[in-house]
Structure 1
Amino acid sequence: MAQVLEFKLPDLGEGLTEAEIVRWLVQVGDVVAVDQPVVEVETAKALVDVPCPYGGVVTARFGDEGSELPVGAPLLTVAVGADASTVVEAPGAAPAESEGSGNVLVGYGTTAAPARRRRVRPNAPSAQSAPAAPPAPAPAAPVPAPVPVAPAAPAPVKPVHASGPVPVISPLVRKLARDHGLDLRELTGSGPEGLIMRADVERAVAGAAAPAPAAPVAPAPEGQALKGHRTPLRGVRGAVADKLSRSRREIPDATCWVDADATELMRARAAMNGATGPSAGPKISVLALLARVCTAALARYPELNATVDTERREIVRFDEVHLGFAAQTERGLVVPVVRDAHARDAESLSAEFARLTDAARTGSLTPAQLTGGTFTLNNYGVFGVDGSTPIINHPEAAMLGVGRIVPKPWVHDGELAVRQVVQLSLTFDHRVCDGGTAGGFLRYVADCVEQPAVLLRTL
């Protein structure tokens, strides 16, 4: 006899509590295999394909594309067993045993069997979602059979919760409703069994706040109102916004900068990439050379490879350098992290930058690859700009910025010449060091850019 198992959104790791459904990979009625990806979700860290732990027939999906679900909310139900078309749940029956993989991979893996099963009627039409009426208080008598009525157009009926708690997916949803003055008893839950989801509350808030036909977003001349388009801050963009806002609130930052002659650095790179014979190897990127300079500078000025523990009022200095680098993607700005950058040479750094950049562009970075950095290298020169005062990647203590490398007039050996010039900037947390340390770090970086042979001391 077949049974219906419910698969819930698994723990995504890294403190993530919700995800947005980007694309369903299966339809109701599809046959799925164990650990087959069934939905593509976007978290605040990455785009993730979520595999299902059960093999069988998909009987229901919960959530439309573009909606957000909290961890633990139902994703879909799967009929498993000999006859997936006739599944009946016995009242009070024990939960079905998992016939899935049993794998639990935080952020990507499958979960254990759920604690309940759902009823699927034979030959019943499938639906994209399967909301049911919310549970009512215990009835005093059995519900009578329905009585035929005159034909009429069906109208949505809001749930009535005479007493007891309103079924809500999480305390955060209850708080969201309270903050906006919404009565949860007036809302219709779109979740299973009438469960009120976050999207239900957000729709109610948007409906209450949006005047007709359009709300003015700014004063305009002659009494006209400007119409605008609103884009929710969620997913990667929302996470970036939260992190940058927190950085501005908590970190007293300062910035220093210097122009450097990068002509010799570019010549050294050309020599590396133009080598033939036994000395030949993979191409070395400019970013990899700058990263090698950066790790050498952090070895001399370890104060900048740190963070501030505000609760304990302590500066935490790290032994390893996990180097983050800013990467612009179609989904927004992300900061992949190169682990143990201090132990890598230019060739290894170049390969790792290429691998992580490709993963960022395809949206396949894992949460672990986007967290745990101790220092960030920001190559904003790729956007064609010379300088910037970037916001520190919280909770780190500093960020090195690199502008574009362009030919400019420069005094070299006492004569005016055209040289390859780059502007370097350092934004640092003034709590971890003073201007002398920051200036020393930046000057050392500039010296290595101007005279790459300086790095031979640390190789």
Structure 2
Amino acid sequence: MGRYVFKLPDVGEGTAEAELVGWHVKVGDTVSEDQLLADVMTDKATVELTSPVNGVVTALHGEPGVMSPVGGPLVEFEVEGEGNASAAAPAPVAEPEPEVAPELEAPEAEEIAEAAPVAAAGNYVFKLPDVGEGTAEAELVAWHVAVGDAVEEDQLLAEVMTDKATVELTSPVSGRVAALHGAVGKASPVGGALVSFDVAGAGNVAAAPKAAAPVAAPAKAEPAPKAEAPKAKPAPAAEAAPVARKAQTPGVRPLASPAVRKRARELGLELQFVPGSGPAGRIEHADLDAFVAHGARAPSEHGTSSPSTYAKAEGTTEVRIIGLRRKIAEKMAESVRRIPHITYVEEIDVTALEELRAHLNAQAKQTGKAKLNVLPFIARAIVVALRDQPQINATYDDENGVLTQHAAVHLGIAAQTPNGLMVPVVRHAEARDPYDTAAEIARVSGAAKDGSAKREELSGSTITITSLGTLGGVVHTPIINHPEVAIVGPNKIIERVVVKDGQMVVRKMMNLSSSFDHRIVDGHDAAVFVQRIKGLLEHPATLWM
């Protein structure tokens, strides 16, 4: 029998990497030549990859949603004959790094070096995969396992965050956690060690015989009862966690997966009051069940900690800014630092627009169409106004001094989510009617809020709307979504007494706050753009003329 390594072929002209969309086989499957193995996606199309040989799948490299380099190992087979991997070839495919093994084992080696080796055990090092196009590092948001835990293949290990989204990492093997590399809130490099496992077999780190023994030794050091304890009694863990997290300090965001957060919203629960049983007080589904079973109320000590309205408050609380909140902070700081903003505010009489919207919504009850808010009309006004000023529908590469004007209007919608501020994108807003625009805004915003948004749905906008209308506010100064050059921010609609044709009348008025990159957009051009939007919204029939 031999070993055959199938590497990702060149799937398009100039393509250096491709995103793995899905596997069609699993480890242990017997496949035939030309059988479908996986789907990968390039910038142009989705490509189906088929097997070049007959054999048994022994390893799969990569996870759906992760970028794989052209020429990198994708599938390993056990085949008849010699295969295509020589005796020296397994090392590059398994990615052993001689310097990594001693470093990873150093914390454990001194304590267990004298333990007897177990011949059938080895060390498997799980490295941080490429979690996004062009990503060199990712921030560790939370651990889901601890040293000594026995884990199964595909079990959730950790959450990491890129500039675009939070990614859940699962275990590629079954084994026992020997070491965790990295601290929550710190950035880890792509390809750097993340978790070390004690596994059955040789593992993927080709260590010297002396180094192999210590990695295997934890199995002899009787951690088995210790590892079974967390699995055997999840309920006590859920009861112990409140001791560490009781009376949650306002402003400290509890740890929980997007699925748990979504379920908590559906149940009407505030996660800051739910005791967590996971690592570092992480809230699991079982914790929500336990909280609901106990009446779904805030902890009693939280309600009685301040018996008097005028009791003195003592102490301070330090909150680490990590995860998406830190990414948001960095992006906002970068935008303000790099872009000289000019903000222009204009009031708009939206009485006619509101009458049209009310009329359409009344008809929608009979036709079954979605109810319209004001955003689809603002989106259309932006699209029409951009026809005369294409330099505003643009992105600016200030490092190379290149302004890219876009024919298509990919409209960013600044949305507040449980994980922080995100900007999902409505693509080709210029080709959508108000109902289609409303439906797409709802879809991408909902995906951002429940954590299901794909990377391409959170990037590529050419101009952004940030709406604070539902929260009130007369005016605000929006920050441009770099590298765009403009952002439009509607404020609340209020009834005001205004003078119209010499008469005092009550009209529905809305302020529009917009910011522009003053390097690209002159004040005159900014005013012309906003005045064009004003004219369109005050005479809504012209929006589709």
- Aligning the two structures, in what range does the TM-score lie when normalised by the shorter sequence? 0.5 to 0.7
Equivalent in 166, 172, 184 of residue 66 of structure 1 = 184
The residue number in structure 2 matching 1:267 is: 355
Q: How does 1:73-222 map to 2 (within 5 A)?
A: 73-78=192-197, 91-92=207-208, 118-126=215-223
The residue number in structure 2 matching 1:444 is: 532
The residue number in structure 1 matching 2:440 is: 352
1:313 counterpart letter in structure 2: G
Are the equivalent residues in 1 in contact too, given 2:498–2:507 (CA < 8 A)? yes
Distance 2:130 2:203 in 1: 28
The residue number in structure 2 matching 1:361 is: 449
Evaluate the alpha carbon distance shift between residue 451 and residue 90 of structure 1 in structure 2; reply closer, same or farther with a 3 A threshold.
Answer: closer
Cα shift at 1:78: 4.8
Are the equivalent residues in 2 in contact too, given 1:255–1:427 (CA < 8 A)? yes
Distance 2:204 2:166 in 1: 36
Equivalent in 56, 73, 92 of residue 174 of structure 2 = 56
After superposition, the C-alpha distances for 1:188-244 in whole angstroms (9 at most, x for unaligned) are xxxxxxxxxxxxxxxxxxxxxxxxxxxxxxxxxxxxxx9754433432222222222
The residue number in structure 1 matching 2:144 is: 24
What 5-or-longer segments of structure 1 have no aligned partner?
94-116, 128-225
Distance 1:260 1:435 in 2: 19
Higher strand share: 2
Alignment TM-score, normalising by the size of structure 2: 0.54
Identity of matched residues, %:
35
Evaluate the alpha carbon distance shift between residue 449 and residue 26 of structure 1 in structure 2; reply closer, same or farther with a 3 A threshold.
Answer: farther
Distance 1:42 1:11 in 2: 12
Are the equivalent residues in 2 in contact too, given 1:255–1:428 (CA < 8 A)? yes
Cα shift at 1:277: 8.0
The residue number in structure 1 matching 2:254 is: none
After superposition, the C-alpha distances for 1:86-108 in whole angstroms (9 at most, x for unaligned) are 98987548xxxxxxxxxxxxxxx
Equivalent in 165, 169, 177 of residue 46 of structure 1 = 165
Distance 1:230 1:317 in 2: 44
Are the equivalent residues in 2 in contact too, given 1:376–1:393 (CA < 8 A)? yes
Evaluate the alpha carbon distance shift between residue 274 and residue 38 of structure 1 in structure 2; reply closer, same or farther with a 3 A threshold.
Answer: farther
Equivalent residue of 1:231, what SS? coil
Q: How does 1:382-401 map to 2 (within 5 A)?
A: 382-401=470-489
Are the equivalent residues in 2 in contact too, given 1:59–1:120 (CA < 8 A)? no
Cα shift at 1:278: 7.4
Q: How does 1:323-362 map to 2 (within 5 A)?
A: 323-362=411-450
Are the equivalent residues in 2 in contact too, given 1:265–1:449 (CA < 8 A)? yes
Cα shift at 1:64: 7.4
2:497 counterpart letter in structure 1: P
Structure 1 stretches of 4+ moved >6 Å: 86-90
Distance 2:327 2:178 in 1: 30
Q: Pick which of 400-409 and 339-348 moved more.
A: 339-348
Alignment TM-score, normalising by the size of structure 1: 0.64
The residue number in structure 2 matching 1:166 is: none
Distance 2:206 2:518 in 1: 65
Matched, 1:322 2:406: no
Distance 2:330 2:483 in 1: 12
Distance 2:221 2:446 in 1: 45
Q: How does 1:287-306 map to 2 (within 5 A)?
A: 287-306=375-394
Matched, 1:10 2:129: yes
Distance 2:319 2:541 in 1: 50
Are the equivalent residues in 2 in contact too, given 1:45–1:366 (CA < 8 A)? no
Cα shift at 1:367: 3.9
Equivalent in 331, 338, 362 of residue 243 of structure 1 = 331
Are the equivalent residues in 1 in contact too, given 2:125–2:204 (CA < 8 A)? no
Q: Pick which of 35-44 and 296-305 moved more.
A: 35-44
Q: How many residues align?
A: 332
Equivalent residue of 1:320, what SS? coil
2:221 counterpart letter in structure 1: A
Evaluate the alpha carbon distance shift between residue 59 and residue 380 of structure 1 in structure 2; reply closer, same or farther with a 3 A threshold.
Answer: same
Equivalent residue of 2:498, what SS? strand
Evaluate the alpha carbon distance shift between residue 27 and residue 406 of structure 1 in structure 2; reply closer, same or farther with a 3 A threshold.
Answer: farther
Distance 2:381 2:121 in 1: 62
Distance 1:291 1:236 in 2: 27
The residue number in structure 1 matching 2:114 is: none
Q: Pick which of 277-286 and 314-323 moved more.
A: 277-286
Evaluate the alpha carbon distance shift between residue 59 and residue 389 of structure 1 in structure 2; reply closer, same or farther with a 3 A threshold.
Answer: closer
Evaluate the alpha carbon distance shift between residue 15 and residue 239 of structure 1 in structure 2; reply closer, same or farther with a 3 A threshold.
Answer: farther
Cα shift at 1:319: 1.9
1:24 counterpart letter in structure 2: H
Are the equivalent residues in 2 in contact too, given 1:45–1:235 (CA < 8 A)? no
What 5-or-longer segments of structure 2 have no aligned partner?
1-119, 225-313
Q: Pick which of 370-379 and 285-294 moved more.
A: 285-294
Are the equivalent residues in 2 in contact too, given 1:44–1:234 (CA < 8 A)? no
The residue number in structure 2 matching 1:147 is: none
Q: Aligned-residue CA RMSD in angstroms?
A: 3.2
